[in-house]
Structure 1
Amino acid sequence: MSRKRMRIAIALLLYLPLGLCGADALAGAVFTLANKQMPEDLSLTSWPESWRAYREDPIQRKRLQFSAAVGGFIGFGLPTLLVLSLTNQKKPLHGEARFATHDEIQQAGLYGERGVIIGKVGKRYLVYGGQEFVLLAAPTRSGKGVSIVLPNLLHYDESVVVLDIKMENFAYTSKFRQAHGHHVYLFNPFTTDGQTHRWNPLDAVDRDPNRRVGEIQAIGQVLYPNHNERDAFWNESARNLFLGLTLSIMETPSLPCSLGEVLRQASGKGQPIKEYLQDLISTRAKSNAPLSDDCTAALHRFCATSENTMASILATLTAPLTIFSNPIVDAATSATDFDLKQVRAQRMSIYVGIPANRLSDAALLVNLFFSQLIHYNTVDLPATNPRLKHQCLVILDEFPALGRVNILAKAVGFMAGYNLRLLPIIQSLSQLESVYGEKDARTFVTNHACQILFAPREQRDAQYYSQMLGTYTADAISTGTSRPLGWSNGKQASSSSTHSEQARPLLLPQEVKELGDQRAIITLIHTKPILCDKARFYAEPVFIDRLKRISPFLASVGKRMPTQAELEEAAFVRRELSVEIPRLDLELHRAKVERRMRPVQPDEPIDLSKLAMDLTTLPPVVARDPPTAKEVNNLVDAFVAQLQWTDKVDDDISEKMRPVTEEGKAQRTEKQVDRSLMDREREERDV
């Protein structure tokens, strides 16, 4: 029941006793007048007393019945007709579109405290709770960051994963979120100062032989999607080779298991790729750790193709992986510092920082990041796993720049049930359609129950918004003048006017484009559209006060609102609003990739945290006493390969890494033998 009808029902219940009394008094008055007497000294009991006194008289009985009918009609009939006229009004011919009132906004539940801030009406924030998705359509430089993203990062208390193109969001809000109990991470694979947390997509792959193939193939689907039938064969073949190389790396503990290593293995290490893979399969088959059937089958399928086909498949494989030839990207994806599977189990804030000038290069990597986020968090429902007690808001700034996220296009209809909440940001509908196609783009938009519309710049979008807002019925008056022939000979002209009902859009397309930079339109299901103000964080005392509690510099300005220059100084110069991020050890990573080693000096400190390792990745030990020399060598090699140690100080490390000459052999002790030489000796001994 609507609020209006509920009020009418309450009014009727309150009117019932009053109407009964009024009808009784009116009936008594009418009966008195019918007997040609003045109605004096009437009371609520006048008519009942007259009924008891005169009901046996046929004439008076008719007068009593007539007076009761008149009193009942006036007391109850007229109010009933009035109510019916109010509740059954004729629908306007062309609709009755309008913006929502404060009561309707209240009824929609937008004046709550928990949820996504979507705007502001008066002094009250509009907060959209629940699990439904929110879509923001805003052209560039329209204030989408300062009025939607930053306010929510300073308000939303559950987990967030945010695509941070300019890294302004991290600079302004990360320390605040950490202070409120969040684990804060920044994944910035193109960092110029080495400050980034690491994320390795292969670390999330289950090592169970029964599950890992499917999860590797899921990564391959992102790297080599089938966008058209023409390239289907090459992409499928590239996914097969990707599966084989990834499995071979996983089954070789001495190699780093990363996408960068997949690229290095695809180079053939100086050999033709077919010869390299065949030697790898043959050598491992003769050892105590042969490659798995899944691995060898995938590699054999690749090697069975012709030379030209093989070259094309290899080119398809390496095309999306060339990004990992960048040492910084390779290091940033060589290990994992945070678990995407935990975003619903604990409060986490993950900022994916991508410089705007590297967005096209990083699109596939970021696509893979969010694909894994959705893939691993749409397995267990919160109702079946009590650990999943937090909602995760996924803020996707410049969403179309990621390219087509296939899993998102398919999962958008059921993700909300897993407590994953989307807030994608697009510039225009045409931008979204260029990536997903018109049909899928419309489906994607439809699955967002709340849409925030900033003043568009494209005429097509303005027309679409105008149509979406609907029309109302407007009275139109047209006038005309008729002049008879020869009117100049003294005959006067006659004029006429015609009244008609016309459809008028709530906002014309040009009016939509003229909204200005302070206002926005919100559309919700089951609610009239809302015309609201933008909640710009720098103009809202509640958000500035939260930043002042974090930044001594902002606190020093006192009660006044800081200027934009002061906010930028606190965030970017003094860095008082962001958390410290560890730096990549690029020298260590390069040494691990190149498999360099040297003797440890007696007085050299060792970072024990770099000696931590996963013992489950070591080769299994056969229960035999004593073990064979090959088993010992394999175990020691795998153990030492996991030690994260390299020389960061000595400048002569390159000298120590040079190939060993005959003169050098004579000068070095057995403990100072180069690791690569030891490997070659062991391989020769094994053969």
Structure 2
Amino acid sequence: MILHVIYKAKHGGNAATLAEVDAVLADPVRPAQEVWEEMLTFGHLPGGKNHPVVGKAARAQLNRPDDEGGSVLSTAQSYLELYQDPVVASNTATSDFLIRDLMNSERPVSLYIITQPTDKDRLRPLVRVMLNMMVRILAPKQEFEEGRVVQSYKHRALFMIDEFPSLGKLGIIQESLAFAAGYGLKFYLICQDTNQLRSRETGYGPDELITSNAHIQNAYPPNRVETAEHLSKLTGQTTVLKEQITKSTGRGGGGFFGGTVSKTVQETQRPLLTPDECMRMPGPKKTPDGDISEAGDMLIYVAGYPMIYGRQPLYFQDPTFSARAKIPAPDRSDTIRGNHAPKPPEGGRRIKL
């Protein structure tokens, strides 16, 4: 259906958007049967030929029993309900940049995707679509020259995703973490607890690969024993010396008391930080107003190196980060391609296939 809407836009139809796809499927006047028949007979390709992918999908839908076909249609509509919102429909109708521009523009660019807490759940599907597209498009087929990978981008990309588990399971990110570095992609994922990642219902399950491919992990004092046990295992083992003193006393001749003292030293193994010690790491100190006045402790794990026990860096105590935080938000977003795009036709926009 998406492919059909794109080709219709090329032939003078409405703009090719997800809102338009929803409008076609949920048309209150036009029967669904007519939509499938149009997809089957429309001339998408030069010479009036029908696109084979669109035609096969339409024929498959026509061949389904009414109950099954209705179920497929309702499922598709449920994923497109978000785009019935006029604000969402308007903001997803046009784009002034290509995803490839994020790594191939003349100058490095920053893209901010921000949702309000009240809209987080409702807009989650849209954010998931954006991230999915970015990872797939920015990690193209690699080319080699003299046995080495040829760099296909101008700038590297950093994906900094706060509250990462709230997006639900994103299989593409879990799979791409292992090879993303070869395409210039780096991920900085922030979550409140490892149990969010390992949830069977909303996360990646107990066998998740997110932490396995996270070569650097920063952790603050945890609140759950399971997380503390995970951090304790990451710290590794250490050897401590345990001294034992044994005394024995006895009555000797002449009424004098005598005795012996023996000392033994044993080497025992223990975690470098026990789960209890992880949970009791000092946290940041705060003023009565709730502002942080002193940094707390943290753990830094780098693959291949011993765990680092450090102090949290406070951005407002760092001159560089403090200056950056004071930069006001821009009144409007910059555009990369908007000024160079040809004027769209009335009621639609130009689509390049």
TM-score range normalised by the length of the shorter chain: 0.7 to 0.9
Contact 1:455 1:513 (C-alpha < 8 Å) held by counterparts: yes
1:350 and 1:268 mapped to 2: Cα distance? 35
Match of 1:613 among 330, 338, 343: 343
Q: Report what 2:205 is aligned to.
A: 437
Q: Which amino acid aligns with 1:325?
A: Q
Alignment of 1:382-461 (within 5 A): 388-434=153-199, 435-439=203-207, 441=208, 443-461=209-227
Contact 2:219–2:298 under 8 Å retained in 1? yes
8 Å contact from structure 2 (residues 42, 50) kept in 1: no
**Alignment correspondent of 1:150:** none
Distance change (3 Å), C-alpha of 1:365 and 1:499: same
Offset, 1:447: 1.5
Inter-CA distance 348–283: structure 2 relative to 1 (3 Å threshold): closer
Distance 1:248 1:320 in 2: 21
Counterparts of 1:314-329 in structure 2, within 5 Å, are 314-329=73-88
Residue in structure 2 matched with residue 48 of structure 1 by the alignment? none
Greater share of residues in helix: 1
Pick closer, same or farther for the CA change 1:450–1:503 going to 2, 3 Å.
same
| 2:228–2:279 CA contact under 8 A, matched in 1 | yes
Contact 2:160–2:187 (8 Å) recurs in 1: yes
Query: Over residues 326-380 of structure 1, what are the superposed CA-to-partner deviations in whole Å (9 max), with x where a residue is unaligned?
Result: 1111111111122211222230100001112222222221111111111111115
Residue 417 of structure 1 and its aligned partner are, at CA, apart by 0.7
Residue number among 56, 71, 80 corresponding to 1:297 in the alignment:
56
Structural mapping, 1:128-167, within 5 Å: none
Deviation digits for residues 580-611 of structure 1 (CA, Å, limit 9, x no counterpart): 126xxxxxxxxxxxxxxxxxxxxxxxxxx899
The answer to whether the aligner puts 1:254 opposite 2:46 as a matched pair is no
How far is 1:538 from its partner? 1.4
Structure 2 residue 348 is matched with structure 1 residue 580? no
Q: How far apart are residue 466 of structure 1 and its match?
A: 0.9
Distance verdict in 2 for CA 1:267–1:546, change over 3 Å: closer
Could you tell me whether the CA contact under 8 Å between 2:241 and 2:266 is conserved in 1? yes
The structural deviation recorded for 1:283 is: 7.5
Q: 1:309 to 1:545 in 2, by over 3 A?
A: closer
Match of 1:271 in 2: 30
Separation in structure 1 between the aligned mates of residue 318 and residue 13 of structure 2, nearest angstrom: 55
- Answer whether contact 1:374 1:407 (CA < 8 A) is retained: yes
Question: Which aligned pairs between 1:8-407 and structure 2 lie closer than 5 A?
Answer: 242=1, 245-246=4-5, 249-250=8-9, 252-278=11-37, 281=40, 291-346=50-105, 347-379=108-140, 381=142, 388-407=153-172
Structure 1 residues without counterparts, runs of 5 or longer = 1-241, 485-489, 551-576, 583-608, 615-638, 645-687
Specify the SS of the correspondent of 1:395: strand
What percentage of aligned pairs have identical amino acids?
Answer: 21
Greater strand percent: which structure?
Answer: 2
- 1:294 deviation in Å? 2.6
Give me the TM-score of the superposition, normalised by structure 2.
0.79
- Aligned residues of 1:244 and 1:296 also touching (Cα < 8 A): no
Q: Which has the larger radius of gyration?
A: 1
Aligned residue for 1:543? 321
Equivalent of 1:465 in 201, 211, 231: 231
Supply the AA of the counterpart residue of 2:331.
E
TM-score (norm. length: structure 1): 0.42
| 1:312 counterpart SS class | helix
Deviation at 1:578, TM superposition (A): 0.7
Q: Distance in 1 between matches of 2:71 and 2:86?
A: 26
Q: Is the 8 A contact 2:43 2:50 kept in 1?
A: yes
> In the alignment, residue 613 of structure 1 is paired with which amino acid?
K
Shift of residue 258, structure 1, vs aligned partner: 0.8
Q: Which has the higher contact order (CA 8 A, sep 6+)?
A: 1
Q: Deviations over 1:439-461 (max 9, x none)?
A: 2x2x3212121111111111011
Displacement of 1:280 in angstroms is 6.3
Instruction: Give structure 2 stretches of 5+ with no counterpart.
Output: 251-255, 285-295, 334-338
- Between the aligned partners of 1:283 and 1:344, the Cα distance in structure 2 is 37
- Aligned residue type for 1:335: T
Contact 2:40 2:59 in 1 (8 A): no
- Number of residue equivalences: 318
In the TM superposition, residue 382 of structure 1 has moved relative to its aligned partner by 8.7
Q: Extract structure 1 runs of 4+ deviating beyond 6 A.
A: 382-387, 481-484, 490-495
Whether the aligned pair in 1 keeps the contact of 2:245 and 2:262 (CA below 8 Å) is: yes
Displacement after TM superposition at 1:613 (Å) = 3.2
Give the match's secondary structure for 1:422. Answer: strand
Q: For residue 426 of structure 1, what is the amino acid of its counterpart? A: C
